[in-house]
Amino acid sequence: MALVHLDALYRTALWLTKNRAEAEDVVQDTCLRAFRSFHRFNPGTNCRAWLLTILRNVFLNRVRKEGREVPEGDATFWESSVESATALGLAGDNPEEEFLQTVVHGDVDRALRALPLAFREAVILADLEGLSYKEVAEVLGCPTGTVMSRLSRGRGLLRQSLRGFAREHGYLKEKE
């Protein structure tokens, strides 16, 4: 039941960690925890959402363990992140980067990776993994309204980041 979701788990872990080896570790820890607590899973409910919840918790625990701060709901943090979301770019020539750039254009990939974690999680789960707002809320452990807000803000940051790309490729006309 859970194995069919391995690809979705890996994709999500890769988007969150931005590192292949760390993503593999997160997925492995997720599968181990899911196996150990499978008796708590309610048959007939959404297994993918349950696994993604575990994956998110594993990822956040790793971030905290490394001493990095995980800002959960600090509005001032998110507001100040607008500039970093538009300015940050990831460079590197590794296989994951090359793969992601063939699946998602490099500019889109960089813009998505530059989003603050809370927005990136919501966008990945809803727009890339296809979860409903309710399922995203379950995975993130927050109200549906918060998911809708994070998606709106995350998509807005993506639009802002990709405006130059759109003009360059003729998707937007230059303002006179």
Annotated domain spans of the chain = 1-70, 74-176
On the question of pLDDT at 34 being above 80, the answer is yes
Say what the pLDDT of residue 88 is: 39
Residue 21 and residue 85: Cα distance in Å, rounded?
24
Mean pLDDT of 146-157: 95
Model pTM?
0.62
Q: Could you tell me the CA-to-CA distances from 149 to 28, 90, 100, 123 in Å, in that order?
A: 31, 26, 27, 11
Torsion of CA 56, 109, 81, 139, to 10 degrees: -20
Say what the pLDDT of residue 122 is: 94
CATH number corresponding to 1-70: 1.10.1740.10
On the question of pLDDT at 143 being above 90, the answer is yes
Q: Say which CATH architecture domain 74-176 belongs to.
A: Orthogonal Bundle (1.10)
